[in-house]
Amino acid sequence: MRYWLMKTEPGDVSIDDLAALPNQTVAWYGVRNYQARNFMRDQMRVNDGVLYYHSNCATPGIVGIARVSSTAYPDATQFDRTSKYFDPKATQETPRWFNVDVQLVRKIPFIPIKELRQHPELERMRTLQRGNRLSITPLDPAEWNFILKHLVRD
């Protein structure tokens, strides 16, 4: 089992939006970074753990726990000419972009990035590294366990 931190903008698919969707599941669409795509396509497996993270907002941070609920499949937005994620180089025969489905496990009290930065146990966490802009980053099992044990409050 692997663990991931997946960033979403709350104006796109917030944790409350996810909670309101059928089966509390969303296709993680629109990823247009090759490294993040490769994580989904090549490494993510059903039941991998996900920290659901709000980014590009006044105070970014972790807002929920989710799980990967499907294997990777072609992202339909790459074929949709009306989508901002349309890719003219992608074809049905050779898709360039993939997504997985993510299902909510539970909402949690907000953990701001500022709080994550206060813990030496998380100093190597990729999301906290200077210059990191990836929307999907792997988590070390020790980071996942520390966050769930010490920072998630019920």
Q: Which domain holds residue 62?
A: 3-151
Q: What is the pLDDT of residue 131?
A: 84
- How far out from the chain centre does Cα 68 lie? 9
Taking a C-beta distance cutoff of 8 angstroms, is the pair 68, 100 a contact?
Answer: yes
- Burial of residue 119 (number of CB atoms within 10 Å: 0-12, 13-18, 19+): middle
Q: Is residue 51 over pLDDT 80?
A: yes
* Total tally of structural domains belonging to the chain: 1
> For the segment 137-154, what is each residue's pLDDT rounded down to a tens digit?
999 999 999 999 999 987
For the domain that residue 87 is a member of, what is the CATH number? 3.10.590.10
